[in-house]
Amino acid sequence: MRRRILIIGLGLIGGSLALAVKKGYPDTTIIGYDIDPQASKLAKSLQIIDSSVSDLAIEAPQADVIILSAPVESSIKIIDKLAEMPLKQGCLITDVGSTKQTVVEKGNQLFEKGVYFIGGHPMAGSHKTGVEASRERLFENAFYILTPTSEVPNSKMIQLQNILKATKAKFIELDPETHDRFAGLISHLPHIIASGLVHQVARQGEKEPLVSQLAAGGFRDVTRIASASPAMWRDILLHNRDTLLTMLADWKEIMHDVEQMIIDEDSEKIFSFFAEAKNTRDQLPSKKKGALMPFYDLFVDVPDHPGVISDVTALLAEAEISITNIRIIEAREDIMGVLRLSFRSEEDLNLAKEKLIDQMYDTYEAP
């Protein structure tokens, strides 16, 4: 009998999970559901799913596995709906949310129905969104956090990992509280800080418009993580509230220390502040997939000559290398310009670098 997997939420993550599982287990039937009928229609036409349903009550009771690929608040509401349905005994349910404590607590109510909930968080993403951006290798070599509670039998954990191993991700098991603390520090807090910087520049830009023009360069790069779904980040902050309040208090203390260094004109402490930060950052793993989406950027020096950008993109297109973003950082008359090319993977970046060097282009990566 073919296993049936229901994926609720057909965006980038849900679609990519569907593709990975279909590739690894071609005998599995993938059913999709999304509140947007167009997303379901597109997922079916792109052969990301086998079929779709417009009513959860039709498919959920037949599913062997249910994957909630929706924001945390939406997943909690879906769990409430599922709890009222006659689900299969032994049905396995997981989610992909960025916070775990509240959704796992809600999922625990399903155990009395003979249904098992295991929290999950694949730590991968893309510059693109929507089901049309789905790709089966999105999670390859990424960390995939699973947060089972003590009620979950080992057999169910093994079953879920056997299904998800098709993603080629690296599994890590954490309790929900630890997950939220780690994610808060390395993902949630940086997004808050980046968004706060954007707000600060926007306010100043209302008084002095030149500020916004100058912010189009390095500032835009530093704060690019602020360009994320407001609904998703609203849910993250509300569902990781206590953790983030503690971390924000710690951040304020660090900023107070910096403020005092400047007031005291303490050059030695200021130097140590930046030197220690540099040393710590330089030791972080490079080009690894973690809580923050990695950026595979390649910088290319280009001469001031008509058609040079078209030449670069044509070389890469000929090699079937997909560029997710291209930006001209510097291009003035009589000087070398700089292109920043963004890629989906390190493999694409390295291949692009090889092709461009063959054509005598100077390339380099950010440290």
Per-residue pLDDT, 333: 42
Region of poorest pLDDT, from 74-88, 116-130, 347-361: 116-130
* One CATH from 3.40.50.720, 3.40.980.10, 3.30.310.80, 3.30.930.10 for 4-174: 3.40.50.720
Write the pLDDT tens digit of every residue in 305-323.
678 888 888 889 888 888 8
CB 293 within 8 A of CB 342: no
Answer whether 0.85 is exceeded by the pTM.
Answer: no
Please, where in the chain does CATH 3.40.50.720 lie? 4-174
CATH topology for 296-364?
A: VC0802-like (3.30.2130)
The DSSP secondary structure of 209-268, one letter per residue, reads: THHHHHTTTHHHHHTGGGSS-HHHHHHHHHHTHHHHHHHHHHHHHHHHHHHHHHHHT-HH
**Strand 29-33 relative to strand 92-95: parallel, antiparallel, unpaired?**
unpaired
Please, where in the chain does CATH 1.10.3660.10 lie? 179-282
Write the pLDDT tens digit of every residue in 32-53.
999 999 999 999 999 999 999 9
Helix 230-239 crosses helix 72-83 at what angle (to 10 degrees)? 70
Helix 241-264 crosses helix 189-207 at what angle (to 10 degrees)? 60
**What average pLDDT score do residues 156-171 get?**
93
CATH topology for 179-282?
A: 6-phosphogluconate dehydrogenase C-terminal fold (1.10.3660)
CB 287 within 8 A of CB 119: no
